């Protein structure tokens, strides 16, 4: 039913055993595991968990790639080699909840083609990071549900997004992250796979390949949903839970936004109107307004600096 595709980076080696073991908990929902290994050919540390997966009849394929390749490129390689109907793209610093597969299967039976699962900080992990870092993670991952819900419909634990305008396209990408993303293989093929100009790579913080897929899906009338009970526990590097990293990451967002502007022909006036909507929305807290205005305002300044036509 599902092929799990995971890009393994040597820096996160300590998490890999736990992740691969949690893949085994999902059988028979996950029937194939494709690992795209970067910058090394030594994955002997996974041999014992591989044997557990093989005993459950989960097929394992290993693909080796250069560390210079983008995340989008590596995910495409995994997707093109996948044999199952659905593909789960997972980051290599997550662990799947034991009910992940069962909850996901019930959602896929309803015909959804693109499902974003929830990301949560593990309870034990929270004890080792301070409150300020937990706050940064929460704002970066979850705060935008209030805005998204303007163009969504919630059924049980599933939020279905139905954007109608270019502004909705921009709003309905916030809070949806590719670390726990499930796509029907045929649908991904129709969307042209991930844009290989995007996606994290060595020494670069430029992401956006997941948001790009969302926008392409919206424009083709394909429903995107968020499933709050399809949970992956995110052991995010604590160095990323700092204000310095958040600012560094946010500084790339204007570049990504301008890329969307050109590729998807989203007018800069939509960004200006978006600021007006954010300011007058009484449901948003001050920190939420500041966050969104910083992103949108930065995008507008970037357009002007690049001399794009307004």
User: In terms of DSSP H, where are the helices of 67-190?
Assistant: 71-81, 100-108, 123-126, 131-141, 145-148, 166-171, 185-190
* Distance, first Cα to last Cα, the chain: 47
CA distance to 145, 282, 284, 294, per residue, from 288 (Å)? 11, 11, 6, 10
- Tell me, what's the pLDDT at 282? 73
Dump pLDDT digits (tens) for 143-166.
445 555 566 677 777 888 777 766
- Tell me, what's the pLDDT at 96? 97
Report the distance separating Cα 199 and Cα 210, nearest Å. Answer: 8
C-alpha radius of gyration, the chain, whole number:
19
Dump pLDDT digits (tens) for 50-80.
998 988 999 999 999 987 888 899 999 999 9
Report the distance separating Cα 201 and Cα 198, nearest Å. Answer: 9
Which of the residues in the chain have pLDDT under 50?
Answer: 142-144, 205, 308-310
Report the distance separating Cα 281 and Cα 293, nearest Å. Answer: 12
- Tell me, what's the pLDDT at 161? 77
Angle at 214 between CA 228 and CA 101, to 5 degrees: 35
**Helix 47-55 and helix 13-24, axial crossing angle in degrees, nearest 10:** 10
Structure pTM?
0.81
- Tell me, what's the pLDDT at 261? 61
Report the distance separating Cα 274 and Cα 252, nearest Å. Answer: 19
Report the distance separating Cα 304 and Cα 122, nearest Å. Answer: 42
Q: Which residue is it, tokens 């499930």?
A: 182
- Tell me, what's the pLDDT at 309? 45
Report the distance separating Cα 101 and Cα 97, nearest Å. Answer: 8
CA distance to 6, 238, 275, per residue, from 157 (Å)? 26, 29, 30
């Amino acid at each position: 039913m599902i092929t799990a595709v995971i890009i393994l980076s040597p820096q996160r080696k300590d998490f890999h055993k736990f992740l691969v073991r949690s893949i085994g908990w999902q059988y028979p929902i996950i029937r194939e595991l494709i690992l795209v290994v970067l910058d090394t050919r030594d994955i002997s540390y996974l041999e014992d968990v591989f044997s557990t997966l093989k005993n459950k009849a989960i097929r394992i394929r290993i693909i080796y790639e250069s560390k210079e390749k983008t995340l989008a490129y590596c995910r495409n390689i995994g997707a093109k080699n996948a044999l199952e109907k659905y593909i789960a793209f997972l980051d290599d610093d997550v662990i799947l909840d034991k009910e992940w597969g069962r909850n996901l299967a019930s959602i896929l039976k309803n015909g959804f083609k693109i499902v974003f699962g929830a990301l949560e900080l593990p309870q034990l992990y929270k004890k080792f990071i301070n409150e300020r870092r937990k706050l940064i993670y929460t704002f970066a991952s979850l705060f935008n549900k209030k805005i998204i819900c303007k163009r969504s419909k919630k059924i049980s634990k599933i939020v279905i997004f139905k954007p109608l305008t270019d502004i909705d396209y921009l709003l309905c990408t916030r809070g949806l992250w590719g670390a726990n993303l499930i796509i029907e293989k045929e649908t991904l093929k129709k969307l042209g796979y991930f844009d290989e100009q995007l996606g994290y790579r060595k020494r670069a913080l430029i992401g956006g390949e997941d948001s790009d897929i969302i926008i392409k899906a919206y424009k083709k009338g394909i429903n995107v949903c968020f499933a709050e009970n399809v949970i992956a526990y995110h052991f995010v590097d604590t160095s990323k839970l700092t204000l310095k990293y958040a600012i560094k990451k946010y500084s790339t967002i204007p570049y990504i936004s301008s890329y969307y502007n050109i590729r998807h022909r989203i007018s800069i006036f939509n960004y200006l109107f978006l600021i007006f909507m954010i300011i007058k929305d009484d449901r948003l807290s001050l920190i939420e307004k500041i966050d969104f205005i910083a992103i949108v305002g930065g995008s507008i300044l970037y357009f002007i600096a690049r001399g794009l036509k307004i």
